[in-house]
């Protein structure tokens, strides 16, 4: 049994200058068109980012294209020793706990202490794959 802090970290991302798409929550949810910004914290297509400020703190997105993550995000670094979809399914499982334990009055923030201390069981790699695939199958049935 490990803690989430043993297999993932919240990091700032690489500061860069130059035009790029702003990857904010509205854009990532398909609710607004892309805006171009001149600088920011750069992330690559396929990276995972997590909302750390606001009502939906704890929500994870996989970046669809290179760009600059919105100011309410942190990059979610995941250990390559663990099957990524398994960790993401695990974080999704705790989404309500993370959402309900936000800190701050005006703008709620992700409770990083709770996030990092979530216990996670690490079965063998192939079992992680089977669990993640089954969760995906079941979530498709619920839609």
Which residues have C-beta within 8 Å of that of residue 59, sequence separation ≥ 6? 25, 50, 51, 95
Domain of residue 66, residue span: 2-142
Domain count, the chain: 1
Q: What stretches of the chain show up as alpha helix (H) in DSSP?
A: 25-28, 84-93, 95-100, 112-117, 125-142
Q: What is the CATH number of the domain that holds 28?
A: 3.90.220.20
Quick: pLDDT tens for 9-22: 999 988 999 999 99
H and E: helices and strands count for the chain: 5, 9
pTM for this prediction: 0.87
Low-confidence ranges of the chain (pLDDT < 50): none
CB 1 within 8 A of CB 46: no
Look at residue 108 in the predicted model and tell me its pLDDT: 75
Euclidean distance between CA atoms 53 and 85, whole angstroms: 23
Quick: pLDDT tens for 85-110: 999 999 988 888 888 776 766 677 88
């Amino acid at each position: 049994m490990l803690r989430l802090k043993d297999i993932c970290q919240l990091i700032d991302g690489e500061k860069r200058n130059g035009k790029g798409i702003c990857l904010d929550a509205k854009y990532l949810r398909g609710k607004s068109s892309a805006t171009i910004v001149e600088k920011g914290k750069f992330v690559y297509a396929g990276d995972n980012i997590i909302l750390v400020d606001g009502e939906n703190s704890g929500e994870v997105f996989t970046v669809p294209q290179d760009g600059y993550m919105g100011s309410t995000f942190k990059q979610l670094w995941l250990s390559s020793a663990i099957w990524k979809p398994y960790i993401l399914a695990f974080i999704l499982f705790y989404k309500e706990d993370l959402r309900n334990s936000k800190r701050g009055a005006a703008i709620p923030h992700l409770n990083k202490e709770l996030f990092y201390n979530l216990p996670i069981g690490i079965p063998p790699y192939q079992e992680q794959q089977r669990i993640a695939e089954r969760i995906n199958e079941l979530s498709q049935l619920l839609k």
